[in-house]
Amino acid sequence: MVASLPANEKDRIQALRRYAILDTPPEPAFDRIISLVARLLKVPIATVTLVDEHRQWFKAYCGLDESETDRDIAFCSHAILQDEMLIVPDTHKDPRFVNNPLVTGKPYIRFYAGMPLKGYNGSNIGVLCAIDTVPREFSSEQQAILEDLAEIVNEELRFRLATLEKNLLAAAVNHVNAGVIVTDPNQPGNPIIYCNPAFTEITGYEPEEAIGRSCRFLQGEHPDPEQQEIAKAIAERRPYRGLLLNYRKNGEPFWNSLLISPVFDEQGNLLNFVGLQHDVTDRKRDMDTLQENFERLKELERLRDSLTNMIIHDLRSPLSVTMGYLDFLRGEISGKLDEEELDLIRRARESADEINVMITSLLDVSRLESGKMPLDITESNLEDITQWALADELTLKGVRLKLELPAEPVPVRCDLGLISRVIGNLVGNAFKYSPEESTVTVRIASDEGKARFFVTDAGPGIPLEDQKRIFEKFGQVKGTRRVHSTGLGLTFCKLAIEAQGGSIGVNSEVGRGSTFWFSLPAATRK
C-alpha cells in the first residue's frame, strides 16, 4: 500500500533542502548512531533515512546493499505521516506491508520500528529505523532507546544547520566590500574582537594589528569631532550613523561612512557592537566640488541680481529724462527739422521705449521674485480679460487671431492688470514666432475648479530640453536669439501666474508649433 503525502509536504521538502544533506558522503557522527541502534537493539538493519519527493535516501545505514529506494515502497513514507514511532511487529500480519517488495524480496523485512526525525520547522524530514528479518516485540525500554538516539540525530541535524548558516555568514562577511568590525563593549575600552578583509583593505591594518585596540586608533592624532557623537551612542547603547575623517596605516586620510549597531541577546544584555564602514573619499570629493560649484553659481546669480537692481534704479531716471527731451524735440522744434532728422528722433525714441520696457520687465520680475508686487485680486471673467488684453494685437503681420470662447462665462479670481499683461506676452510671442499668413488660436475653458487659457501658434516649436529653461530668467531657446528679445517675458508670466495660485506651461514640438497655457483658480459663479 502506497502511503499518502503528508499535509505539510511542501514545508517538509523546503526544510529538507535547507540542510543540504542529500547525496552527501557518510559522516562518522551518523554512522556511529547507526551502529549504536544495531548493537543496543540487536537488529541486523539500521538506517538514518531522509525522505525527499521521490525516494528515501540513507544518510547512514547498515545491513543493506542499496543507499536509496523508491518512496512508493518505503516504510519510512508511512512513518513520516505521524509524530510518534511507527512499529510493525510482523509485516506478514500487516495488510499495509504484506505485499511490499521489501518484504517479499530483499532485504525481507519482517520487523520495522521508525522514529521520525524533525526538521527546523517541525516537519518530519526523515526517520531513524531499526529493522529485522524476523518478527519481534519491541519493549518500551527499546522504544526509549530508539527515541533517544533519534533525538541525538536531531541534535546533529540542528548543529549541521547552524554550521551551514555560520559558514554562509562568514563567507558574506569575508567577501563584502564594506569594512566590518565587531567590538566587545563588556571589556574596558570596547576593543575590536573581529575585523574582516575589507577592513584591512580600507585601513591597511591587518587583523592582528587591530584586534584588542579601540576603534579610536583610526582617528590618528586629530580626533574628528564626530568621535564624541560615537562615544555618546555607544554609552547609550544605541546605533550611530555618520561620516568621519579617519587615517589609513600609511597616514593617508579617508572619509569613513560609518554605521554602528548594538547587538543584544534575548535577555537584552549588550553583547557587541557591529560597525560597517565604507570608504567614501571619492564620493565626498565629488560632492564637495559640486557644492563649491553650486556656491559659485549662487554667487554669480547674486552678482547678476545686484547688477540688475543697479540697472533698474540707476538707469530709470536718466532714461525718463532722455525720453522727455526726445518728445520735446519732436513736439517743439519739429518744424525746424527736415524729414531725415525727424526720422532719427523717432528711431531714438523707439529705442528708448524698448529700454524702458526692458527695465519695467526687470523691475516687475524682481518685485514678483521678492514678493513685493502688490496684487489686486478681484473676480472677473477670463474671456472679458482676454478680449480686452488683445484689443491691439488683432492685426499684426497678416497673422490671423482665432478666439474659441466657451458658451458659459469662465469666472476667475485674479489681478486683472497682471493677467492681461500675461495674456499680452503669451499672445505677443505667438504672433512674434508665427509664420506669415498663419493662425494663432486662443482658447478659454473651465474645468476641475480652474479657469484655463491656451494660445496655439504654428511657429517653429520649442525643443523639449529648452521648455523649462525659457521660463527662467533670461532663458531662450538655444541658437534662436532674436534682436528684440529679453528672455524676461515668460519669467514674468510664470511669476505672475504663480503669485496668484495658478500654474503655467508649454506643450510644443519642434516644427509643429507651440501651445502656451496657464490655469488660475476659478471664482464661484454668481
Closest distance of CB 396 from ligand ADP, Å: 13
Pick one of 260, 462, 495, 522: the residue that binds ligand ADP (CB under 6 A). Answer: 462
Closer to ligand ADP by CB, 389 or 477: give it: 477
Which stretches of 363-479 are assigned E, i.e. beta strand?
377-381, 400-404, 411-415, 439-447, 450-457
x/- contact string, 131-160, with ligand ADP (CB under 6 A)?
------------------------------
**Which of 450, 464, 467 has the alpha carbon at shortest distance from 516?**
467
d(CA 390, CA 369): 26
Provide the minimum distance between the beta carbon of 438 and ligand ADP in the complex, in angstroms, as a whole number.
Answer: 12
Q: Please calculate the CA angle 486-489-495 and round it to the nearest 5 degrees.
A: 130
Q: Which is nearer to ligand ADP, 415 or 457 (CB)?
A: 457
The site that binds ligand ADP (CB under 6 A) totals a number of residues, namely: 19
Q: Which residue, 372 or 481, is less far from ligand ADP as judged by CB?
A: 481
Between 104 and 480, name the residue whose CB sits nearer to ligand ADP: 480
Q: Are 69 and 102 in contact (CB under 8 A)?
A: yes
Question: E strands, 95-137, where?
Answer: 111-118, 124-132
Distance of alpha carbon 384 from alpha carbon 410, whole angstroms: 9
In the shown chain, the binding pattern of residues 469 to 508 toward ligand ADP, with x for contact by CB under 6 A and - for none, equals -x-----xx--x----xxxxxxx-----------------
The candidate with the shortest Cα–Cα distance to 474, out of 360, 354, 358, is 358
> What does the alpha-carbon distance between residue 62 and residue 515 come to, in Å, rounded to a whole number?
88
- Which one of 460, 463, 505, 521 is in contact with ligand ADP (CB under 6 A)? 460
**Direct distance between the N- and C-terminal alpha carbons of the chain, in angstroms, rounded to an integer:** 88
How far is 18 from 288, CA to CA, in rounded Å?
48
User: Which residue's Cβ has the minimum distance to ligand ADP?
Assistant: 489
- Cα dihedral across residues 112, 115, 120, 122: positive or negative: positive
Nearer to ligand ADP, 100 or 420 (CB): 420
Closest CB 180 distance from ligand ADP, rounded Å: 55
Alpha-carbon separation of residue 102 from 70, 71, 116, 345, 421 (angstroms) = 11, 12, 20, 121, 99
Minimum CB–partner distance for residue 510 and ligand ADP (Å): 10
> Nearer Cβ to ligand ADP, position 54 or 482?
482
Kindly state the helix (H) or strand (E) to which residue 297 belongs, with its residue range: helix 281-332
Instruction: Pick the closer one to ligand ADP by CB: 87 or 462.
Output: 462
Task: Write down the least CB distance from residue 472 to ligand ADP, Å.
Answer: 9
Q: Which CB sits closer to ligand ADP, 35 or 480?
A: 480
Region binding ligand ADP by CB under 6 A among candidate stretches 27-35, 48-56, 105-113, 456-464: 456-464
**Least distance to ligand ADP, CB of residue 485, Å:** 3
Among 114, 116, 275, 459, the residue binding ligand ADP under the rule CB under 6 A is 459
Distance separating alpha carbons of residues 494 and 453, to the nearest angstrom? 14
Binding mask 201-220 for ligand ADP (x = CB under 6 A): --------------------
H/E run at residue 61:
strand 55-62
Q: x/- binding map, residues 410-439, to ligand ADP, per CB under 6 A? A: -------------------xx--x------
Axis-axis angle for helices 28-41, 140-175 (nearest 10): 180
Least Å from the CB of residue 486 to ligand ADP: 4
What is the distance between the alpha carbons of residues 12 and 8, in angstroms, rounded to a whole number?
6
Contacting residue, 256, 514, 519, 522, with ligand ADP by CB under 6 A: 514
Q: Which of residues 358-417 bind ligand ADP (CB under 6 A)?
A: none
Question: What is each CA distance from 147 to 33, 156, 273, 512, in whole angstroms?
Answer: 12, 14, 42, 85
Alpha-carbon gap, residue 138 to 49, rounded angstroms: 20
456 is a contact residue toward ligand ADP (CB under 6 A): no
The nearer residue to ligand ADP, 152 or 355, going by C-beta atoms, is: 355
Q: Would you say 67 or 356 has its CB closer to ligand ADP?
A: 356
Of 73, 67, 66, 70, the C-alpha closest to 55 is 70
Report the interface residues with ligand ADP, using CB under 6 A.
429-430, 433, 457, 459-460, 462, 470, 476-477, 480, 485-491, 514
